[in-house]
Amino acid sequence: MAPMAVLDEVDVETELIGVDADRGEHRTADYRHIHPLGLIPTLRLPDGRPVFESAAIVMFLADRFPASGLAPATGEADRALYNQWMFYFADTLYPTYNRYYHPHQFSVEEGDADRIRERCGELLVEQWKIVDDALQGGNYLVGDACTAADIYMHMVSTWDKDPRALAARCPNITRVAATVARRPSVSHAMSKHERLTA
Ligand SMILES: N[C@@H](CCC(=O)N[C@@H](CS)C(=O)NCC(=O)O)C(=O)O
């Protein structure tokens, strides 16, 4: 969803090709040729090379189209914080959700899965609280304008199994995510995503 929203923000001509995971299209040799893990999404560059990892795709697009204002310039102090949040969502919260929703993939012993899921539920509370505290009194994660990190945060926040509880615990995230959700790019991506995953 975040790469789709950022593609819309940068207003570049692209072709969106759906991959039907329910029919296993992401596991085919053809698709693994562009994404060796068989995961979605992949961006194909104009020169034909594929790029995978949603955060890498989002960061590339925001840098490639600086007029979008979605990324602080490289080397600026704000850039360090932008990088921090992008990596935090991609490398901390995202893996915790993966373990929460797919504990069997991370278990050796039968019975570990329930404990992994329970522990990841606790970690999600702790990990979101850090974001909520950082957003206290601020409109966005970095500076006064929306960046790709806010769009990525919004995406990850939609994954919670109990959105009401997350909203009650994290009012600042809820406020900022609601602002981000009103961006036309994000609302289009959400509805496209719903259609693709329906
Ligand atoms: N770290 C990767 C994770 C990609 C990922 O897990 N994609 C999910 C869809 S959002 C997927 O392809 N799931 C299919 C599967 O695991 O079989 C990224 O951010 O791009």
pLDDT tens, position by position, 5-32? 999 999 799 999 989 889 999 999 999 9
Whether 193 is in a domain gets the answer no
pLDDT of 193 above 90: no
Handedness of CA 165, 125, 128, 58 (dihedral sign): negative
Domain boundary among 33, 50, 68: 68
The one-letter code for the residue type at 194 is E
Q: Which residues contact 63 (CB under 8 A, 6 or more apart)?
A: 71, 74
- From CA 14, how far away is CA 155, in angstroms rounded? 21
How much is the average pLDDT of 106-122?
A: 94
What integer pLDDT is reported at residue 197 of this predicted model? 63
Residue 47's φ and ψ, nearest 5 degrees, are -85, 5
What integer pLDDT is reported at residue 101 of this predicted model? 97
Q: Do both 37 and 129 map to the same domain? A: no
The answer to whether the peptide bond before residue 41 is cis (omega within 30 degrees of 0) is yes
Pocket residue to mutate for ligand 1, from 25, 26, 39, most atoms within 8 A of Cβ: 39
Residue nearest to atom 17 of ligand 1 (CA): 39
Pocket residue to mutate for ligand 1, from 28, 40, 94, 102, most atoms within 8 A of Cβ: 40
Q: Do both 54 and 81 map to the same domain? A: no
How much is the average pLDDT of 161-176?
A: 97
Give the CATH number for residue 48. 3.40.30.10
Residues with C-beta less than 6 Å from any ligand 1 atom? 21, 26, 39-40, 53-55
pTM of the model: 0.96
